Structure formats: C-alpha cells, structure tokens
Amino acid sequence: MSRKITDKKEALAQLKDDGWVLSMVSDELKADKELVMAAVQQDDSLEIASDELKADKEVVMAAAKGSGGGYILDYASDELKADKEVVMAVLKVNGHALEHASDELKADKEVVMAAVEDSIHALDYASDELKADKEVVMAAVRIQGSALMHASDELKADKEVVMTAVEHPYQGHNLEHASDELKADKEVVMTAIRTTGQALEYASDELKADKEVVMVAVKDLPFTLQFASDELQNDPEILDGLDN
C-alpha cells in the first residue's frame, strides 16, 4: 500500500505536477483548502477532496476552470449543483455536465441553451418543458442533428425542426427520430437521403416504394436497396444502375 503523505509542503510540491496526488494525502490534508485548490486546478481531483471543500464555492469554481473542469459537477455539493454561476462555468467546458445540475437549473432556459451548444446529449437532461421549447431544440439540432432524439414528440413532428436535423451532411439517418407523418413526407425524406442513403431505412412504406426516392438512396449507398419495397428491389432500371 502506498504511504499517505502527511506533510503539507511535500504534498504541495507534488501537486504542481499531478493533481491526483491528492488521493495519496491524509484525510486532514484533503480538507486543507490551499492544498485542494492547488490540486483541482490541475485536473478533476475534486472527487477526492473533503465533503466540506466540495461545498466550497471558491474551490469548485477553481475546479471548473481547471483542466478537468468539465467533469467536476458530479462531485460538487447539492447546493453548488443548484448554483447557476457554478453550473454555467462548468457547462462552458462540458455541456453534458447538465446531467448533474439541479432540477431547477435543468429547467432554466439560459442554462440549457449553454449546455446544448456544447453537447448534443445535453438536451436529454433538460426539463420536459425545454425539450418542447422550439428555440432550444433548434439550437441543438443546428449543431448536431442527432439531438432530435431528445426532443419532445411535438417537435419531432415539426417539419422545420426535422428538416434542420436531417439536412446536415451524413445526418439523414436522424429521420429515425421524426414522427411517422414526417417519415412519409417526401420533401423531408428526400432531404435526408441526399445526405445519406441510409435514411431510406426510416422512410414510410409508401416512400420505400417510390422509385425516385429509392434511386437517390441506392445511388449513394447500394446496400440500402434492401430497405426498398419488394417490387423496387427487383426493378430492372434500379438494378441496372447498381451494375453501372
């Protein structure tokens, strides 16, 4: 077993190079604010600090600005997970950290907007109300179309939102998350398959039987013919196009 460091000067000297040295110090030193401040500015070693210092705003803010700042919210006290200033500081580094914010802040539009600008999955942790807020969802899908999976059912049926989600290069497969009505909308489906033929898998049966739609898809990705209707899988013109 590694020896515990009990001398503060020795600990501070080692912490200059590696914040995780904090795991090797005595419990008394894990509660020393100066030492912990030195550690958390190196990496995400807040996890190892005493509970008292995990609740110290100055320490947590210093951790948020450190090289591991995006991962520290999980270890902060509940009070600081509900502190907007702290949470916003962390979200600037890692939007996914919204997962660990208080429920109140998950329902704060400014907070959630900051989160979705950094992480496509941040929308998953937003309140149901904000998952149904078109401005929030549009901000998310403009950055990464796959954020559509976390939107409300109402917005998955909003043509503007879905068109934005599927029009990104190689993002047409996000058609999977659209409403059935929009999976049957030829304009939406054509937009999706022009970015990737794989989107044909998620089109309505009617559009899988639409020759124009299928030809666009298989021209991009020949294997997507398997998603077309039985009739079109045996269409001479489509098969001839594959041979060429």
- Give residue 48's domain range: 1-67
- 74-110 pLDDT, tens digit each: 999 999 999 999 999 999 888 999 999 999 999 999 9
pLDDT in tens, 14-28: 777 777 788 888 888
What pTM did the predictor assign? 0.85
Whether 83 maps to a domain, the answer reads no
φ/ψ bin of 212: left (φ > 0), alpha (ψ from -120 to 50), beta (otherwise): alpha
Res 70 pLDDT > 80: no
Contacts of 185 (CB under 8 A, 6+ apart): 159
Taking the C-alpha atoms of residue 226 and residue 150, their distance in angstroms, rounded to an integer, is 28
| pLDDT recorded at residue 68 | 65
In which band, very low, low, confident or very high, does the pLDDT at 1 lie, cut at 50, 70 and 90?
Answer: very low
Of 19, 17, 24, nearest to 36 by C-alpha is 19
- Within a domain: residue 11? yes
**Residues 6 or more apart whose Cβ sits within 8 Å of residue 159:** 182, 185, 188
**What total number of domains does the chain contain?**
1
